Structure 1
Amino acid sequence: MDNKYDTIIVGGGILGTFHAFHALELGLKVCLVEKNAYPQGATTQNFGQVVPSGMNSKWQKFGRRSLRIYKDIQSKFDISIRQNGTVYLASNEEEERLLVELRAINNNNEYESKMLTKSECLERYPGLRRSYVTAGLFFPQEVTVEPRTMIHRLQEYLIQEKGLVMKTSFPVISCERTTTGVEVRSTRGETLQAGKVIICNGSDFKTLYPELFAASDLEISKLQMMQTKPQENYSLKGSILTGWSIRRYEAFHECPSYAEIKRNEPQDSPQKQWGVHILFKQAMDGSVILGDSHQYADVDRVEDLGYDLDMDIDNFMVEEAKKIIQLPTYDIQRRWYGMYSQCKTSDIFKKTIDEHIHIVTGIGGKGMTGSAGFSKKNIATIFNT
């Protein structure tokens, strides 16, 4: 029957879509369902930076696998992947020491990176202020994507080339075991059947298993970002991560000097209060996306984060960005915030209801970088391959 599948993936974001991708690679009949007309959550509300370099050793492996998957798909179908590298820019001796230590770790992991002198940084990145930068660490294999178009192109590729069945505007209201598998029902009374169901979206998880959701250790992070008007005759290649990223990203937690450097940081700075670390990425239209901030709340108190942009945070980020790179214009054409869930005590939330129903969500800020690689392993585990 047309409504029977080997697996149904609930949630059309990056995590669900790559679970569908890897299930298709196993030759399975797959249906991907999305509650909205198109994905519009964290997958589309982010920078589009694919940076395994910022992850701890475990997730860097997933991220590097993701890079290979992204590049392979891009060689066959344009999903907006651009290999233009990632750079971390140190602003002082402490941050430069962390870069040197991270490079040693990556050399040991056989992951290509290159230290850049101050002069090389100034030459590579136009507008970078001499008064800010002391050195850089460059990862040439890393890529950027256009998040508001990439997920749609990826799904188009899977539908056209891999046989994916995708159903949008399909809010799932029940997921029930049957004698042969699982039946999924939508708000319109449509039913689908599958041997296994994988729920990859936090809001669907909340709808289907509210008590389990409430008992989870998930929290919500709210991130503010903005986009300048297109920059005239200006090119800023790759992902640009700065000193506060060096002080924040998980990869640096493994550096010998990290704990001491963190102890010496002021605890009452705006960067700490708002979780700010300044990032830059030029979009295909020439505009520059910059941000971002991090504010947290438990999943049952998400309203504490508010529904508006905090302009004090935006204004602070713009002023800090101006101290780092002198863009032709800092006129802002668009401001927004994204929200994603993450676990307080583990790196991702996984729960098996029984052998037929699996929940995987709360990937946090690792989604764009880690989903493709992680999903391959998780699909193999679920289907015992």
Structure 2
Amino acid sequence: MLQDTDIAIVGAGILGLSHAYAAARRGLRVSVFERSATPLGASVRNFGQALVTGQPPGPMQALAKESREIWAGWAEAAGFHIRREGSLLLARTRAEEELLEAFCEVRAPEHGYRVELLRGERLHDLYQGQFSHHRAALLGLDDQQVYSREAVPALVDHLRREHGVEFHFSTLVRDVEPGVIHSTLGRCRAGQIIVCSGHDYQTLLAEQIAPLQPQVCRLQMLRVRPERDFGLRQAVLTGLSCVHYGAFADLPEAEAIREQIREQQPELEEHGIHLLVSPTPYGELIVGDSHHYGSDASPFNAEAVDDILLALAEQTLGTRLQVVERWQGVYGARGPGPFSVLKAAPGVTGVLMHSGVGMSVGPALGERTIASLLS
């Protein structure tokens, strides 16, 4: 029998850690169970982008704004690298530029997005003219970025040392019931149980999750070294992202970009490709991504998809890129909304993301869920 705890959390990804922090800072005893020896899921395979600008107006934008300040506090307390210099969304075509203009004129002031539209000399001044071949750049002032594969372990260490959170890695939770977790280490009694098991829809709460009809999204991603390091400090996106992110996708001007993609590059729509680039603290760049959906993540990557991503990145960044590493991202997707909070049984709650924005909204979602449980 493991030591009793106030809150038992299944999953040490960003959602699990967010709930652990929210509970521990309120003085509760917290135990976290993770099946692998270190977090290996969506939370360490991603770009580390915590975007406010891309979130649709309303609850998701609010969660991202709240999460922004939590991330800053974590970085200072846990000592991991964070960039708070915003993001750059580059308009490569007139259609993309028109969408950014509409966003800045209507949506941004109406909903409080802190952005600037850079053109002319201001665009040319970016990185000594590195992006002058584009028409415009939207600077998202509230966006930030961490290096996930270092930030997540650092946060685990901080929670363990400073908040007394007990972690059980390499421990599979086989079943949960009100007040009890059954794991490969034995039983653990808990006042509240929170299941944050990512895209595993079969091991725990399978009957409650099934009606949501969630899917898994797999992404092809790369770590690259630029031939010419121009000191990129911001996450980079292009107008292609405007048809994927809710802050832009429902604007009338987005339809012209969709038509442009279908007519000129239908392979982008076929593979769900829109360019994201994140600088690491070591002069390298994380590049992606594609989107393929299904009940399981196929293990087979297509070289043609990587070729498209590299060509897009080289054209956007204006430099050749050398591939250092390739991997497959994966996250839970396509549920009834961007996330679900399930009251599975008395004292048992499931929290699932159905989109790839866990880094952007997870910290605040953890705060809200814990506050709701305690109230």
Alignment of 1:154-233 (within 5 A): 154-177=155-178, 182-188=179-185, 190-202=186-198, 205-229=201-225, 233=229
Deviations 1:221-270 (A, max 9, x none): 11111011365553111111112112321110343433465456527701
Query: Cα distance 1:68–1:197, how it changes in 2: closer, same or farther (>3 A)?
Result: same
Match of 2:272 in 1: 275
Identity %: 27
Aligned to 1:362: 353
Deviation per CA, 1:142-175, whole angstroms, max 9, x where unpaired?
Answer: 2110010111111111111112111111100121
Q: Contact (CA 8 Å) 1:127, 1:326: kept in 2 or not? A: no
Task: Assess, with a 3 A threshold, how the Cα gap between structure 1 residues 127 and 11 changes in structure 2: closer, same or farther.
Answer: farther
Maintained 8 Å contact 2:8/2:193: yes
Match of 1:306 in 2: 298
Give distance in 2, aligned partners of 1:19 and 1:361.
12
Task: Please tell me whether the aligned partners of residues 226 and 322 of structure 2 are also in contact (alpha carbons under 8 angstroms).
Answer: no
- 1:250 is aligned, of 246, 249, 263, to 246
Deviation of 1:120 (Å):
2.2
- Distance in 2 between the 1:84 and 1:42 partners? 24
**For the residues of structure 2 that align with 1:15 and 1:233, how far apart are their CA atoms?**
34
What TM-score comes out, normalization by structure 1 length? 0.90
- 1:350 counterpart = 2:350: no
Match of 1:334 among 322, 325, 329: 325
Q: 1:209 Cα shift? A: 3.0
Structure 1 residues 2 and 320: alpha-carbon distance in aligned structure 2, compared to 1, 3 A threshold: closer
Give the aligned partner of residue 31 of structure 1: 31
> Do the aligned partners of 2:198 and 2:352 also contact (CA within 8 Å) in 1?
yes
Aligned residues: 372
Match of 1:266 in 2: 262
Distance 1:193 1:102 in 2: 50
Query: Which is worse superposed, 284-293 or 355-364?
Result: 355-364
Q: Does 1:288 align with 2:289?
A: no
**Equivalents in 2 of 1:253, 1:271: separation in Å?**
16
Deviation at 1:52, TM superposition (A): 1.1
Q: Aligned partners of 1:211, 1:263: CA distance in 2, in Å?
A: 40
SS of structure 2 residue aligned to 1:27: coil
Match of 1:122 in 2: 124
Residue of structure 1 in register with 2:84 after alignment: 83
Q: Which moved more, 1:200-209 or 1:51-60?
A: 200-209
**2:311 alignment partner in structure 1:** 319
Q: Secondary structure at the match of 1:324?
A: helix
Q: Deviations over 1:69-113 (max 9, x none)?
A: 111222333122121211111112221122122223222233321
TM-score normalised to the size of structure 2?
A: 0.93
| Structure 1: distance between partners of 2:259 and 2:267 | 17
- Give the unaligned 5+ runs of structure 2: none
2-side partners of 1:24 and 1:247: how far apart? 39
Equivalent residue of 1:53, what SS? coil
Cα gap change, 1:286/1:248 in structure 2, threshold over 3 Å: closer, same or farther? same
Q: Give the 5 Å matches for 1:122-161.
A: 122-125=124-127, 128=130, 130-131=132-133, 133-161=134-162
Q: Is the 8 A contact 1:221 1:339 kept in 2?
A: yes
- CA RMSD in angstroms, aligned pairs only: 2.1
The unaligned stretches of length 5 or more in structure 1 are none
Please say if residues 52 and 63 of structure 1, whose CA atoms lie closer than 8 Å, have aligned partners that are also in contact: yes
Distance 1:344 1:194 in 2: 28
How big is each residue's C-alpha offset from its partner over 1:162-208, in whole Å with a ceiling of 9 and x where there is no partner?
Answer: 1211111110012123xxxx1111124x1111011000113555212
The CA distance in 1 between the partners of 2:330 and 2:288, in whole Å, is: 14
Superposition map of 1:48-87 within 5 A: 48-57=48-57, 58-87=59-88
